[in-house]
């Protein structure tokens, strides 16, 4: 179950979380080792949200993408702002994918595994819809590996919430039980905002699932600290964050 109501948050989420393709260049380079899938099969974007990575993958790799997202509000926003000829937006849940056996060449899960009620069930479904050798590419901020997340410097409570996400070890174990093996783990840089002031304006929307549960007073305290840092920034400097790419196959 999602930790926030994404039907209600969809428009705000897109404004607060969207990134430019230029800012995601590190992810294009990292995924190029695994995509596009062999045999011309589409990529499954599981928990596709408002379609940021679905359209990026379709654009970068000239690939077809099946973007599965349970929230009708998020799918509606995706179709309005990121319609793409090679992307099909589909309603569905990770534990019961509305897809045929072996129909996708690889799977992409971006900041979604902490929303799943049944990670082993998701792993079994991915094993069903992927051919042998099809990669599962998981983008996440795993517990104990948050040093590269700028947000948590100002909102330590958000970091504590992220520490409740599935660990690398738990994720690997869930997928190994379904027949997947560990392939790689690396940190990937992304430009999250062109400056700290720009990052601040996005944070004000409180569209991150680690910010939404914070008490209002704690959120206000972190926002004030970020405002002071942004005011002191004399030369706009891009905000670069590092998230993990875990590859299973």
Across the chain, what does the average pLDDT equal?
Answer: 95
Domain ranges of the chain: 6-192+240-248
| Residue range 33-59, pLDDT digits in tens | 999 987 889 999 999 999 999 999 999
Please enumerate in sequence order all residues whose Cβ is within 8 A of that of 140, keeping only pairs 6 or more positions apart, or say none: 109, 111, 113, 114, 165, 166, 171, 243, 244, 246
Residue 143 CB neighbour total at 10 angstroms? 18
| Cα–Cα distance measured from residue 144 to residue 142, given in angstroms and rounded to the nearest whole number | 6
Taken as a whole, the chain contains a residue count of 249
pTM score, whole prediction: 0.95
| Cα–Cα distance measured from residue 217 to residue 32, given in angstroms and rounded to the nearest whole number | 43
Residue 5 CB neighbour total at 10 angstroms? 11
* pLDDT value at residue 3: 55
Task: Specify whether the CB–CB gap between 206 and 219 falls below 8 A.
Answer: yes
Alpha-carbon dihedral 193, 243, 178, 164, rounded to 10 degrees: -100
| Residue range 159-211, pLDDT digits in tens | 999 999 999 999 999 999 999 999 999 999 999 999 999 999 999 999 998 99
Percent of the chain with pLDDT strictly greater than 70: 98
Match domain 6-192+240-248 to its CATH number in 3.30.720.200, 3.40.800.10, 1.10.1070.11, 3.40.50.150.
3.40.50.150
Residue with tokens 């599935």: 166
pLDDT > 50? residue 1: no
Mean pLDDT of 147-153: 97
**Pairing between β-strand 239-248 and β-strand 136-140 as defined by DSSP bridges:** antiparallel
* pLDDT value at residue 40: 87
């Amino acid at each position: 179950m999602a930790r926030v109501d994404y039907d209600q948050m969809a428009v705000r989420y897109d404004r607060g979380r969207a990134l430019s393709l230029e800012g995601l260049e590190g992810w294009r380079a990292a995924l190029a080792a695994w995509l596009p899938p062999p045999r011309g099969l589409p990529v499954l974007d599981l928990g596709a949200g408002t379609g940021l990575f679905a359209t990026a993958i379709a654009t970068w790799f000239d690939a077809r993408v099946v973007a599965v997202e349970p929230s009708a509000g998020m799918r509606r926003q995706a179709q309005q702002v990121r319609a793409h000829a090679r992307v099909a937006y589909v309603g569905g849940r990770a534990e019961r994918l509305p897809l045929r056996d072996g129909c996708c060449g690889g799977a992409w899960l971006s900041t979604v595994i902490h929303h799943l009620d049944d990670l082993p069930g998701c792993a079994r479904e991915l094993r069903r819809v992927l051919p042998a050798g099809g990669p599962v590419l998981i983008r996440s901020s795993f517990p104990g590996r948050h040093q590269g997340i700028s947000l948590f410097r100002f909102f330590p409570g958000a970091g504590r919430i992220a520490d409740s996400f599935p660990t690398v070890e738990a994720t690997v174990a869930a997928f190994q039980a379904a027949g997947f093996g560990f392939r790689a783990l690396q940190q990937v840089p992304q430009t999250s905002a062109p400056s700290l002031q720009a990052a601040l304006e996005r944070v004000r929307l409180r569209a991150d699932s680690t910010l939404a549960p914070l008490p209002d007073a704690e959120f206000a305290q972190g926002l004030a600290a970020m405002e002071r840092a942004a005011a002191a920034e004399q030369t706009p400097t891009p905000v670069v964050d590092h998230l993990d790419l875990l590859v299973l196959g």
